[in-house]
Structures are given as structure tokens and as C-alpha cells.
Amino acid sequence: MEQSVSSILDTYQRDPTQLMDILIDIQSEAGYISDQAIEQAALGLNISKADVEQTRSFYHFFSKKPRGKYSIYLNTSVVACMMGRDTVARTFEHETGIPFNSVTRDGLIGLFETSCIGMSDQEPAAIINDRIFPNLTPFRAKELIRDIKAGKTMDELIVEGFGDGQNSNKDIRAIINNNIRKIGPVLSPDYKPGKVIREILPKMTPGQVIDEVKNSNLRGRGGAGFPTGMKWELCRQTESSEKYIFCNADEGEPGTFKDRVILTERPKLLLEGMVIAAYATGASHGILYMRHEYKYLKKYLENLIQGAHKRKFLGKDIAGIKGFDFDIRIQLGAGSYVCGEESALIESAEGKRGEPRDRPPFPVEKGYLNQPTVVNNVETFCAAVKVLLNGGNWYRSFGTKDSTGTKVLSISGDCRNPGIYEVEWGFSVNDMCEMAGADDLQAVQVGGPSGSLIGPGDFDRILCYADLSTGGSLILFNHTRDLLQDVVLNFTSFFIDESCGSCSTCRIMPVLLRNKLNKILNARGMNSDIVDMVNWAKVLKASRCGLGQTAANPIVSSILNFKHLYDQRIRGGTHYDMGFDLNRAIQEAGTATGRFPLME
């Protein structure tokens, strides 16, 4: 390993800002990151062990202990659980003889849990050595463990055949399906890659490109909805010889998977969008930051980037425009939801912990390596291509006045047709449910855990920035679901697992809220517990980033819209606090002394 750490360091020119890549390579080569490797990396990069450890320990997929020759990461997301994840998990445990978060004694198999992996339309799913295994059943879990024990290779483990579209591409070869159910103007296959770069950009000045995007009223598709044209303009106005275009492909909001499908089926559209942004802002470097869960797409995308270089869509003097140089590289994450926040994403790409920055300064002024940086969502770049192709006026003909164009939705949960739908903004929740083949719904989670949980009374509301804003995640729940136990508790635990820990508020409050929620779920709650949760949650608004500010949304929005579910769990409106459990409190002492008091 000593040898290979050294050569990994050389691959990245011993550059500490490449620490993520270095650790990813060490982890993937050795199966873990040993103390020795950390020491060697620190020495080779001329930083302290503390510097390496702080990054190493932040990310879910980095480990200091071996994670098994076959590391199985089973998704714990809400939808995975709804689709039978627990029986699959029990089967894995039974067949391997180990509980989760451990490795078999022979070091062959490791079982681990992981947050939403972007497969909500084909759950339960697991990642085994960077490959995705969707639609798992107990039978399939048994088969997988049997085959692994029999010494089969990763390729031999696959019996399902490969998925639709490019999932069967020789560079991907994934079992995954795209499940594209509705195509609109952005995802439309009627598109000739490179047309905008070759035919339109040379005729436009960067200012005109920005004006056209502004005219389209395109807003960020990651969820926050910042006007794209304005973002590009701000970056353009910041003077610097180095500027960066980041594509945020870190989609980690539970229930969203649209970017995975775009990366698979429309990657050229995305790359073209990044080139347009580079032209508009004057940037010469692009970084596609992709979540680690999508590592199986890396080779495929790298080949496409290479192809774009050959066809002069990337590289020097693109489209014959003198001095327009731009390249794109892929940066992988390593398992962290908060890295989807743009400044955390930049920190991570610099090899650091994915902690959001204090703003201002905003990335458009001081971003990657303190240079002006534009960070846009995958879908935003794709939409920008169509805006330039057909004009801002055309784009504005779709959607509503304040939310123009279309939105690609990731629909999952209790419906007959989970998958990707491109719809115009202004679509109502009712229509959306009908479209996906869902009836008898109890609730819809709009915008993932950081969004809101709404009931049928709100289903006539519409998807747009002014009403129900969403990055695209929509999870449907029928009446068989226990919203508090299965949904709210799961989401709250998700926020606890994914908090970066930097702000006191987001580090501590979700834990306090989860304890309260558990108290209610354990039938020990009282009315004041509900009031407390609503009041306590307010402190989260003082958090730095969106994760912290929305970490109580699952609890607060469910109290707002499903108060009766809480009331049902409260013992007859009692004012007597049942939170203290005498039996449990004296358990330890009782066991030690062998004596327990007689209780009625």
C-alpha cells in the first residue's frame, strides 16, 4: 500500500486541494484508509495529519477500517423502507451472520447503511463496490450473498440484464432503469449536440447570452431558485483571470433522481450548457461535481468529455472563437448531503470538509480557490441550452409568470408509475398524482425532507417558486403509511446524520427534536411536547445554510398539516409528563445489585 499511496499522490501532483480524489483512490484501492496511509498522505502533501483526518472523517464513504472485499451499502431512505428494505436488510444479516455496520470475520462482506442513493423509483437498492443493485428482494439478497461466498466476480453477480437507454452502454453497464415517463421541451430528444456552441455562440457576445438567459427568466433548478442570468452576470462582472463553472450533480435530497437520469441520457446537453455558461461568464475551467453514489457513470462521462475535446466543443478556441478556452473535469464527492449546498460543494472540491461558508462573499465573487465561480444545477444548464436554441421568449411561453419553463420531477413512493416527468411549472399536486397513477393518497412530501409534507386538502396547490417550490423530489404516501414513524422520524434522522456539525443549532437541535418525537411515538408524550417542538425548532432559523434552516421542516410541517396524528399519540390529553421511566432509570442499578423494587 505504501507504494500505491505514493503513486496516487503523484497522480494528483501532491496537491492538497485534490485531497478528495486522493482519499477516494486510497479507499477504493485498499478498501479503507489506514493510519499509515493518512500519515503518508500528510507527509506527501505537506499538511498535518489533522488536516487529512478532518476531511477523511467527514465523508460517509471513507473508512479507517476495512469495509470488506464486497461492501454492501443498503439504502435507508423513506422510499426504500416503504418498498421493503427492512426484510432485505434482515436477509443480508441472516445470510452473512453479521449485523449492519460490520464486516464478516473473513473480511469478505461488509454491511453498511447509507442515505438516499438516488434510486427512489426502484427501491430497495444497494450499492455494492460502486455498482447499483436496485429492486432488491429477500430472494435476491440471498442469491447475492450466496454468489459472493461462491467467489463470483462483480460482473457475475449481475443476473438482471442491463437497464434501458444508455444504462446498457459499455461504459456504464448498470441494472438501473431510467423510467422516463414524460418528456418536455428540455429533455426532448430532438436536439443536435453542439449546435448552440457551433452555430449560435459565435454570433453572440457574452452579454447577449446573459441577456437571453435573463429574458427567459430561468431560475436555479436545484431548489433555491436564484435567477440564472443574474448569477452569470454577477460572475461576469467580477474581475479575475481565473473563473470556474461548477455543475452541481450532488443531488442528495431524498426522493430526487432526475439528475441521475439526465447524466445518463442527456449528458451532452449538460456539457453544452456548461460551455455556454463559460462563454457568458469568461470562465476557463469547469468542474462537474458528482455524488459518489453515481461513480458508476464516471467513465462514461469522462469518455464523453474526451469526445467533446476531439470535436472542439471543449479545449482551445472553442467554435473558432479566439481565446475561448474551456475544459471540464469530474470531481467525485464521498457521501455527504450538505455538499449539495453550493459553498459546501466548493469546499469539498478543494479537498476540505463539506462545511458551508459564511456568505457574503458569494461564490460568484469568491468561490473555488477564492476565484469567481458559478454553481448551477444539472437541469439548469440543460434548460439554458434550450433557451439559447429557441430564445427566451419561447422558454417563457411555458410555465407561469414567475416560474417560467419546465421542471423535471422525480416521483416516487405509492404510485403505479414512479419515475421522471418533465412538466410545466404551474402543475397542480392533484394532476401530478393522477399522472403518476396514485390514488387514495394520505400525503405528499414536496421538495424532499427540506420541503413540506402536505395532505389532500392542499392537493390543489401548484408547483412553482411562489407556492410549492421544489427541487423536484415528490414522494407519495398512501393510507397504509405511518407518517410519523415511517416518514417524519426517518427524515429527522437523515438531517442528524447529514449535519456538518459546524453550527451549534443544526448540530444539536435536531437531536433534541428527535428525542421528543420518539417520546411521543413511544406513547409517553403530552400536549406540551408538541408545543415545545414547534417553539424549539425556531432556533434552527439561525443556522448558516439551508440544511440547518430546514432541518425541522419534517416535524414542523407535519405538526402543521397532520396535527391529528400527533394528538392520537398523546395519552388522553394528559398534562402529566410520562417522559420519566422509573423502571428504565433504575435498570442499571437493579442489574448490578440483583434487586428490583416491587411495582404495581
Measured from the CB atom, the residue of 314 and 349 that comes closer to other proteins is 349
Does 17 contact other proteins by CB under 8 A? Answer: no
15-to-9, 43, 131, 351, 386 alpha-carbon distances in Å: 8, 12, 29, 9, 38
Cross-strand partners of 409: 421
Does 511 contact other proteins by CB under 8 A? Answer: yes
Q: How far is CA 342 from the centre of its chain?
A: 12
Instruction: Pick from 126, 157, 275, 509 the residue near other proteins by CB under 8 A.
Output: 509
Does 507 contact other proteins by CB under 8 A? Answer: yes
Measured from the CB atom, the residue of 446 and 556 that comes closer to other proteins is 556
| Region near other proteins per CB under 8 A, out of 97-105, 178-186, 422-430, 495-503 | 495-503
Does 503 contact other proteins by CB under 8 A? Answer: yes
CA angle 405/408/411 to nearest 5° reads 140
What nine digits make up the cell of 546?
Answer: 439551508
| Region near other proteins per CB under 8 A, out of 51-59, 93-101, 463-471, 567-575 | 51-59
Does 284 contact other proteins by CB under 8 A? Answer: no
Does 113 contact other proteins by CB under 8 A? Answer: no
Does 49 contact other proteins by CB under 8 A? Answer: yes
Measured from the CB atom, the residue of 265 and 342 that comes closer to other proteins is 342
Measured from the CB atom, the residue of 48 and 397 that comes closer to other proteins is 48
Quick one: which of 368, 277, 367 has its CA closest to 326? 277
Instruction: Pick from 48, 208, 237, 306 the residue near other proteins by CB under 8 A.
Output: 48
For residues 454 and 441, the answer to whether their CB atoms sit within 8 Å is no
| Region near other proteins per CB under 8 A, out of 406-414, 453-461, 473-481, 494-502 | 494-502
495 burial type by CB count under 10 A (0-12 exposed, 13-18 middle, 19+ buried): buried
Does 370 contact other proteins by CB under 8 A? Answer: no
How far is the C-alpha of 320 from the C-alpha of 312, rounded, in Å? 9
For residues 45 and 351, the answer to whether their CB atoms sit within 8 Å is no
Smallest separation (angstroms) from other proteins to the CB of 528 = 11
Helix, strand, coil percentages, rounded to 5, for the chain: 50, 15, 40
Measured from the CB atom, the residue of 321 and 585 that comes closer to other proteins is 585
Does 505 contact other proteins by CB under 8 A? Answer: yes
Residues 6+ apart with CB under 8 A from 50: none
Smallest separation (angstroms) from other proteins to the CB of 509 = 7
DSSP secondary structure string for all residues of 290-309: E-GGGGGGHHHHHHHHHHHH
Measured from the CB atom, the residue of 404 and 502 that comes closer to other proteins is 502
Residue ranges in contact with other proteins by CB under 8 A: 46-51, 53-54, 57-58, 336, 353, 358, 360, 496-505, 507-509, 511-512, 515, 532, 536, 538-539, 541-544, 579
